[in-house]
Structure 1
Amino acid sequence: MLAYFTWPTRSINHREIAQIRTGAKHRQIEPASPEALAAFLSAWPEVEPGTGLSLDADQLLVKARDAMVAAVQTFNSAGLSFRAELFIVTSIIAWTYLMHAALKKEGVDVRYWEGSGRDRKVKTTPGGGKKYWELGQCLRHAKCRLDVGTKNNLFYLLEIRHEIEHRSTDRSLDAALSAKLQACCINFNDALKQLYGAKYGLERNLSLALQFASLDPEQVGAVRSADLPPHLATVMDAFEAQLTPEQYSDPRYAYRVAMVPRHANRASAADIVAELVPSGSDAAEEINRVLLRETERTKYRPGDILKKAHEAGHRYFKMHDHTTLWQRLDAKNPAKHFGVDVAGTWYWYESWLQHVLKVLGERAAAYAASMPRL
C-alpha cells in the first residue's frame, strides 16, 4: 500500500492505512469496484520521471514546470523572430499554475465566486469550466510568499502581455526585454525550490544557450537603439517610473549581466564561458556604475529643462519658449521617444534636453553671425 500511494509530495504511513482498515477514517467512502481497481493498477505508477511527482495529485506543479521549460526552449530556439512574446505568454501560464499550487497548499481557495448565502456558487467560464484566479490576483494575495522584486518583474511582464494581447507588435522585443526575461527564469526556479524543495529545480533540465554571434560594440549599439512600438515604450517607461532606485536595480526585477571578452591566464580556465565577479569588488562596482549609466533613463520636468538651458548660458529661454518649441515639433508624440506620460504628468528624457540645447546653440550661433563686426 505504501508503494502504491506514496510519492515525494505525499507521504502515507502505516498508521493512516490502519485507520482506513479499521474504519476510523473515511468510513463513508465505498470500496473501489473491480473495474476501478483494474484501471488504477494498469495506469500505476502515474508519476513524472525524474521527480516522482504524481501526474494527477501534483498536476499543477507538473504543468508549471513543463510550461516554464517550454517557454525557455521556445526562446532559445533558432529561427524564431518573436521569441519574447512567446516566452511571456507561456511563462505567465507557468507562474499561474505555480501560484495556484502554492496558494492551495496554504489553504487558499483560488476560485472566483458569485452570489451569497445559499445562492453562492463558483463562477464559470462560457464553456462551463470553473473560473480560477489570474496571476495578478494571486500575486496580490496576502499569503503569496514571493518577494517584492519577483512580484515587480511579473507585474511588468503582465503589462507587456496585456499590450501583446490587444495590439499586434511589428518588431521584436527580445533585446529590450532580455534582462526581465532572464530574471523571470531565475525567479521561477528559486520559487520552485523555496516552495517545494531543491529537488524540483530546473537547472539540471536546461543548460547554457549557445549562439552564433559574439556581442561586439556594433551589435550592442543596435540593441540599445532598438525602435520599440510607441505603445509598448510608453507602458515600459510608465511602469518603471513608479519604481524606487532600489526596486529598479533589484536583480529579481531585471537580471543584468556584463559580458567582457577575455583571454584565460590559466589553462584550467581556458574553457570557462562565463566568470562571476565577486559582489562588492572594485570590478563589480565599476560594472554596476556602467550598467546603471546605460540602462537608467533620467527624466526631467519642464522646470529642469529651463534650469539646464540657463546653466548653458541661454538665460533668455523662458517657459513660453519651451512650450512653443515642443508644440511646434510635436515632441510629445510617443513615436518620437522624447518623453513619457506617467499618471497624467509628462516627463522629458535626456534626448529632449539635448535637442533643446542643440536648437538654442544653433540660434545663438546664428545670432552671433548676424552681428556686425567691429
Structure 2
Amino acid sequence: MARRPGNTLERWEVGIVKAMLARKYVPQDIQAYFSRPTRSINHARISEIRDGTKHRAIKAASDAELDDFLEAWPNVDPATGLHLQGDELLVKAREAMIAAVHTFNSAGLHFRAELFIITSIIAWTYLLHSYYKREGVDYRYKKGGVVQKTPSGVDKYWELGQCLAHGKCPLDKGVINNLNFLTEIRHEIEHRSTNRIDDALSAKLQACCINFNDAIKQLFGKEFALEKRLPIALQFVTFGGLQRAGLVGAELPPHIATAMDNFQDALTDEEQSDPKFRYRVAFVPKVSGKASKSDLAVEFIKPGSPEAEAVERVLLKEVERPKFRPSEIVTKVKAAGYAAFNMHDHTLLVRQLDARTPGKGFGVMIAGTWYWYEHWFDKVLEKLAEGWTRP
C-alpha cells in the first residue's frame, strides 16, 4: 500500500520557516506555504520551530534563500501535486522513466535499448531513493560508520544494485531479477560498441516499464502513474516470420549474448517465465465486423481463441477448450429443449452461417476432422431461440 510521507518538514524547509518567522510572518501564513496536495503541515510543526522546542541546531535560511523560495512558490507540478524541490527524487524518477520510453520510441535512433537501459536505471535509482528516504533508511555509502564522499566532496548515495540488495527493498523477486539483468547488460554496453540488441531485449524492457508503473502506484499512489503520459507506440510496418527471424538473429554481439545467457541460466524456469522479469505479448491482425470495434489496434487474447491459433505464444495460460463432433452438438441441442433438431438441420445452419470459416471462431480442423467449440453450440441455441426453422 502507498504511504504518505507524513507532515514533517525537511531541514531546508525548517531553515526557510525560521527566516519567515524572522520577517514576522504569522504561523498560519507560513503553514499555508508548506502545505500542498501531497502533504499537509500541522500548525504545531510551525509552533515548535517558533518556540525552539525542536530543530534548534538548524540555521535560518539567508535572505537570498528566502527570496528565492518565495519567488518560486508554489513550485508544484500541477499534474501530480509534487513539489519540485521537496519531492525532487520522485519527480526525477518519473521524468527519467518518461524520457527513457520517449527515447526508445523515437524514430531514427540506432542505440535505443542502450539509451533506455541507462535512463531507466536512473529512474529506478531515484524511485528507491525516494522510498528509502520516506522510510527513514539511510541510503548513503558508509565505511566504518563514516559516510563516504564523492571526489567533489558530497555524500555518496547507493547505486541501484545496493538499493535492490537492501533488506527493506520493497520490490518483488521478478522485478529485482529484471533490474539486475538490465544492470548486467549496462555493464557490458557501457564501454563497448554494440549492434542491434533492441529486439533481443524488448521483453525485458517492456517488463521494466510496467514494473516501474506498478511500483510507483503501489509505493506512492495511483495519482503518480505514467500511463496517461505515455501512449502506446505506433509502427509503420508488420513483420512476417522470415523478416522477424532475420531481425532477431541479426548481429547480436557475442559479449551481450554471453551476458544474457549467463544471467538467465542462473534463474529457475519459474523465474524466467515471470512477466515481471520478461513481459511478452502476442499481437495478431484483428478484423471486426463492426466499425465501432474495428479501431482497436491492440487486443489481449487468451489461448484457445481463434486469434490465439495464429500465434506461437500467448500471455495467459488456460486449459484446452472442449471440442464436439457434429452429432454431439445435435445431442446437446436436443437436451436443451429442441427435440426436433436433427443432423440435417445442423448441416443447413452451418451452411447458412458459413460457420466453418476459421475467422468466425466456431470450430477447428484437427487431423482432417472438424470439431465444434462450445461457442458454436451457444450460437445454435441463439438462432433457434430467434425462431430459426429449416428453409
TM-score with structure 2 setting the length: 0.68
Amino acid at match of 1:38: D
Equivalent-residue separation in structure 2 for 1:288 and 1:265 (angstroms): 19
C-alpha displacement at 1:100, in angstroms? 1.0
* Residues 150 and 187, structure 1, Cα contact 8 Å, conserved in 2: yes
Which residue does 1:355 correspond to in 2?
none
Residue 90 of structure 1: aligned partner:
119
Q: Percent identity?
A: 58
1:128 aligns with 2:153: yes
For the residues of structure 2 that align with 1:123 and 1:246, how far apart are their CA atoms? 39
In the superposition, relative to structure 1, how do residues 210 and 288 fare at CA in structure 2: closer, same or farther (>3 Å)?
A: closer
Provide the rounded CA distance (Å) in 2 between the counterparts of 1:29 and 1:227: 58
Is the deviation greater in 61-70 or in 30-39?
30-39
- Deviation of 1:240 (Å): 0.9
Q: Does 1:145 align with 2:170?
A: yes
Give 3-state SS (helix, strand or coil) of 2:227's partner: coil
Paired with 2:285 and 2:161, the residues of 1 have a C-alpha distance of 40
The answer for the alignment partner of 2:304 in structure 1 is: 282
Using the alignment, how far apart are the partners of 2:122 and 2:158 within structure 1?
12
Mean CA deviation greater in 19-28 or 96-105:
19-28
Structure 1 CA distance for aligned equivalents of residues 309 and 262 of structure 2? 26
Q: Which of 190, 195, 201 matches 2:219? A: 195
Measured against aligned partners, the alpha-carbon deviations of 1:152-193 in whole angstroms (never above 9, x if no partner) come to 100110110000013221x12111111100110110111111
Structure 1 residues 287, 196: closer, same or farther in 2, change over 3 A? farther
- Within 1, Cα distance between the matches of 2:309 and 2:173? 24
User: Which residue number corresponds to residue 164 of structure 1?
Assistant: 189
Match of 1:37 in 2: 66
Partner AA of 1:87 in structure 2: F
CA distance in 2, matches of 1:143, 1:153: 18
Paired with 1:89 and 1:159, the residues of 2 have a C-alpha distance of 11
Measured at CA, do residues 147 and 269 of structure 1 come closer, stay the same or move farther in structure 2, by a change above 3 Å?
same
DSSP 3-state at the match of 2:40: coil
Name the CA shift for 1:62/1:236 in 2 (closer, same or farther; >3 Å).
same
Q: Which sits farther off after the overlay, 32-41 or 74-83? A: 32-41
Cα distance between partner residues in 1 of 2:85 and 2:310: 46
SS in structure 2 at match of 1:232: helix
Match of 1:254 among 275, 278, 297: 278
Counterparts of residues 227-242 of structure 1 (less than 5 Å): 227-242=251-266
The amino acid of 1:154's aligned partner reads: L
Question: Residue in 2 aligned with 1:361?
Answer: none
What's the CA shift for 1:101? 1.1
Distance 1:213 1:271 in 2: 17
Q: What SS is found at the alignment partner of 2:190?
A: helix
1:113 matched to 2:142: yes
1:239 shift after superposition = 0.9
Cα gap change, 1:264 to 1:101, in 2 (>3 Å): same
For 2:104, give the aligned amino acid: F
Instruction: Return the letter of the residue paired with 1:137.
Output: Q
Q: Which moved more, 1:4-13 or 1:174-183?
A: 4-13
User: For residues 127 and 48 of structure 1, do their structure 2 counterparts lie closer, same or farther at Cα, with a shift above 3 Å needed?
Assistant: same
Query: Paired residue for 1:266, among 263, 285, 290?
Result: 290
Number of aligned pairs? 285
Structure 1 position 99, deviation (Å): 1.0
- 2:189 alignment partner, SS class: helix
Secondary structure at the counterpart of residue 108 of structure 1 = coil
Distance 1:24 1:140 in 2: 38
Per-residue CA deviation, residues 85-139 of structure 1 (Å, 9 max, x unaligned), is 01001110111111111112222111111235xxxx3211222222111101110
Alignment of 1:199-210 (within 5 A): 199-210=223-234
Q: Displacement, 1:60?
A: 0.8
Q: CA deviation at 1:7?
A: 2.2
| C-alpha deviation, 1:3, in angstroms | 2.8
The residue aligned with 2:313 is 291
Q: What is the identity, as a one-letter code, of the residue corresponding to 1:71?
A: A
Would you say 1:174 and 2:203 are equivalent positions?
Answer: no
Query: Cα distance, 1:39 vs. partner?
Result: 2.8
Contact 2:96 2:120 in 1 (8 A): yes
Specify whether residues 289 and 216 from structure 1 end up closer, same or farther in structure 2 by C-alpha distance, changes over 3 A only. closer
Is 27-36 or 231-240 further displaced after alignment?
27-36
The one-letter amino acid of 1:135's match is: L
Q: Cα gap change, 1:262/1:227 in structure 2, threshold over 3 Å: closer, same or farther?
A: same
Which has more radius of gyration?
Answer: 2
Within the candidate set 57, 72, 88, 2:101 is matched to: 72
Distance 2:49 2:310 in 1: 61
Q: Report the structure, 1 or 2, having the larger helix content.
A: 1
CA contact (8 A) 1:176 1:226 kept: no
Specify the alignment match of 1:5 in structure 2: 34
Unaligned runs of 5+ in 1: 293-374
Q: Tell me: CA distance 1:29–1:225, structure 2 relative to 1, closer, same or farther (3 Å).
A: closer
SS in 2 for 1:221: helix
TM-score by length of 1: 0.71
Match of 1:15 among 15, 19, 44: 44
* Secondary structure class of the residue paired with 1:97: helix
Alignment match, 2:90: 61
